[in-house]
Amino acid sequence: MARLLNEFGAASAVLAADQRDLVDRGRMSEHGAAIVADTKAVGEGHPITAYLGEDHPHGRLVVYSDRDYPELLRQLSQPPMWYWEKGQRASDRALHVAIVGSRRATVRGKALAMDWAYKLASIGITVVSGLAEGIDTAAHRGALDSGGHTIGVMGTGMDRVYPVANRALASEISEHSLLMTEFSPGTGARAHHFPRRNRIIAGLCQAVIVMEAAKGSGSLITAKIAQDHGREVGIVPGRPGDANARGANAAIKENLGALVFSIEDVLELLGYTDHVHNSRKTPTPVLESNLDPDVARTVERVVHAGPVSFEKVSDSTGIPHETLEEVLLSLLSEGRIVLDGNQRYCKAS
């Protein structure tokens, strides 16, 4: 479809072409050309036209030939011929950076994703991610909390949020930022949808930042697509032996992207050096939390006697891992504790 549109200039010209033109200029098979030549255009009076109108409850359909189809996305080797969007677009001049990574992210990874997204969005950069659990969720949350812009690219129809736990987040993004999906309303989650979603994430952005990617991670697929299309790729290194870092560390070894250790590194990757100094002044986002203050103080006492690993905090407090992750993430975001270079928790200076 992309080849035909590029060759003939518009869908109407494709439909007006005869079978021989489709074979010769469009490089189609005789069978395929016959099908296209027999296709009738959908006119303004057709019922489907009203269904795809701008006031559709599931958003607006953007077609490849539309003037406002994103130019970066058009540069993909296999761009989507159409996609649904719901919400508000960022300025045409805004840079776009994807932050992607593990669904089973560590406390450190989620805190870092939220912090970097907050700071990028605070200076007008749109943060793009895939609405998945873990790193994606933290990146969207950080961007929204800054009052900036984020794009959630879905692997389902607009009305079928996956994971279900992110329904509220998706609703908030559609109200204040933008949701996008290649899949029609009613389409559920399927494994093969997510690599397709990942190419859109890569296609929208000038740079992709990978955090905590395991081997075979979809985040690495996104990074490879970005690299293949001449986009910048930054990879946050992880601790040797950490399962969540194996893919990212292997990608660094294979020169899939540049090492990034800080938000300043990301901005320099973008050539956005005018804002490197200002980024240091951007406050760290604070999570809204309903945590038991007694539990938080218990964890804080153990950390202040540190530095200590996650396992040591767990052994010392007996707090379940899921609850402990939430407590540590909250304390990190509030600046009450910090992570040292060995990924141990310690008292903030």
Question: How far is it, in rounded angstroms, from Cα 240 to Cα 254?
Answer: 16
Question: How far is it, in rounded angstroms, from Cα 54 to Cα 74?
Answer: 21
Check residue 281 and give its pLDDT.
47
Residue 307: what residue type?
P
Check residue 335 and give its pLDDT.
72
Would you state the structure tokens that stand for residue 229, as one six-digit string?
């299309």
Nearest to 346 by CA among 327, 334, 332, 329: 332
Q: Confirm if 226 and 209 have CB atoms less than 8 A apart.
A: no
Task: Please state whether the peptide bond connecting residue 307 to the residue before it is cis, i.e. omega within 30 degrees of 0.
Answer: yes
Question: How far is it, in rounded angstroms, from Cα 158 to Cα 45?
Answer: 25
Nearest to 303 by CA among 130, 127, 156, 107: 107
Stated pTM of the model: 0.77
Residues in a beta bridge with 101 = 211
Q: Map out the domains of the chain with their CATH numbers.
A: 1-41 (no CATH), 96-279 (3.40.50.450), 293-347 (1.10.10.10)
Phi, psi of 124 (to 5 degrees): 95, 10
Check residue 55 and give its pLDDT.
63
Check residue 155 and give its pLDDT.
95
Question: How far is it, in rounded angstroms, from Cα 264 to Cα 330?
Answer: 24
Q: What share of the chain is helix, strand, coil (3-state, %, to 5)?
A: 45, 15, 40
Check residue 255 and give its pLDDT.
84
Check residue 167 and give its pLDDT.
95
Would you state the structure tokens that stand for residue 295, as one six-digit string?
């539990």
pLDDT one digit per residue (tens) for the chain, 349 residues: 888 888 888 888 888 888 899 999 989 999 988 888 887 666 666 666 666 655 677 788 888 888 889 999 999 988 999 999 999 999 878 899 999 999 888 888 888 899 899 999 999 999 999 999 999 999 999 999 999 999 999 999 999 999 999 999 999 999 999 999 999 888 998 988 999 999 999 999 999 999 988 777 888 889 999 999 999 999 988 777 777 778 888 888 888 889 888 888 899 888 876 554 444 445 555 455 556 788 888 888 898 887 888 888 888 888 887 788 778 877 776 778 877 656 678 887 7
Question: How far is it, in rounded angstroms, from Cα 99 to Cα 127?
Answer: 7
Check residue 263 and give its pLDDT.
86
Check residue 279 and give its pLDDT.
46
